[in-house]
Amino acid sequence: MPKEHANWSPYDNNGGTCVAIAGADYCVIAADTRMSTGYSILTREYSKICKLADKSFMASSGFQADVKALQKVLSSRHLIYQHQHNKQMSCPAMAQLLSNTLYYKRFFPYYAFNVLGGLDSEGKGCVFTYDAVGSYERVGYSAQGSGATLITPFLDNQLKSPSPLLLPAKDAVTPLSEAEAIDLVKTCFSSATERDIYTGDSVEIIILNAKGVRHESEPLRKD
């Protein structure tokens, strides 16, 4: 008699796309604000970005209940760190914490596809990209979520080194200016919205630089 499988899954996919780009002295983190389930929209105004520390913002797509739980765990761990060390966590430190937190649940994972963006201790932009179980890498730019396959090749074309034979430096950041990077992000989301049904409504953009944090919001197609 063949084994019966559960027809209930603990996971759901709420869709959405997240993007982050690291600059010489800034970091742009963006995510759309649509939350869906199946072919329905749950809300058009849901923020997928969470401030983990002064200089670390995490954008996560996937199953938002797991994302919410992950954000709570990381925020409380950061609070404990602040009590014990009397300072904020640096972005690379938060990156490692996120990786460890995700791997902790290796055999019942957080269904969360994260991008961590911020400024490192030298003030340079840094972006870390993750899979669901904590494998991570520092990169110059990244996209995660339902629109990632549409956006990533375009970012490669605009931000990668001129020849594929030239390997970029380990801590490569884009030479683009802050305004150019923000414009690029808006273009990415407009294009992804056209072809991905789970992306749209509006895009929330966070810009981190030496002066502080700035928010921008741009409407997207609602269909």
Partner 1 sequence: MSIFEYNGSALVAMVGKNCFAIASDRRLGVQLQTIATDFQRIFKIHDKLFLGLSGLGSDAQTLHQRLVFRHKLYQLREERDMKPETFASLVSAILYEKRFGPYFCQPVIAGLGEDDKPFICTMDSIGAKELAKDFVVAGTASESLYGACESMFKPDMDHEELFETVSQALLSSVDRDCLSGWGGHVYVVTPTEVTERILKGRMD
Rounded to whole angstroms, how far apart are CA atoms 119 and 161? 22
State the residue for tokens 């993750």: 130
Q: Which residues contact 213 (CB under 8 A, 6 or more apart)?
A: 51, 206, 207
**Minimal distance, residue 221 CB to partner 1, in Å:** 12
Quick check: 96 binds partner 1 (CB under 8 A)? Answer: no
Quick check: 13 binds partner 1 (CB under 8 A)? Answer: no
Quick check: 191 binds partner 1 (CB under 8 A)? Answer: yes
Q: Are residues 194 and 188 in contact, defined by beta-carbon separation less than 8 angstroms?
A: no
Quick check: 106 binds partner 1 (CB under 8 A)? Answer: no
What are the distances in angstroms from CA 133 to CA 20, 51, 126, 167?
Answer: 20, 21, 21, 27
Residues 117-146, interacting with partner 1 (CB under 8 A): none
From 45-53, 71-79, 153-161, 202-210, span contacting partner 1 (CB under 8 A): 153-161
Residues 161-180, interacting with partner 1 (CB under 8 A): 164
Quick check: 195 binds partner 1 (CB under 8 A)? Answer: yes
Helix, coil or strand: residue 68: helix
Q: Which residues bind partner 1 (CB under 8 A)?
A: 147, 149-154, 156-157, 164, 187-188, 191-192, 194-195
